[in-house]
Amino acid sequence: KPATLETGKKINVPLFIKEGETIKIDTRTGAYMGRA
């Protein structure tokens, strides 16, 4: 599902991620890596 980061960048994350959760993002690709 689409999500917007604090920086304003939009990425896709799995459906189980809830608003306010901290996640890891690959800064080279912008892809979701996992929960932090």
| Cα 23 to the center of its chain, rounded Å | 6
Encoded tokens for 29: 């690709």
What pLDDT score does 31 carry?
Answer: 93
| Cα 6 from Cα 15, distance rounded (Å) | 19
Tens of pLDDT along 1-36?
A: 999 999 999 999 999 999 999 999 999 999 999 999
Domain spans of the chain, in order of start? 2-35
What pLDDT score does 6 carry?
Answer: 92
Written as one letter, the residue type at 7 is T
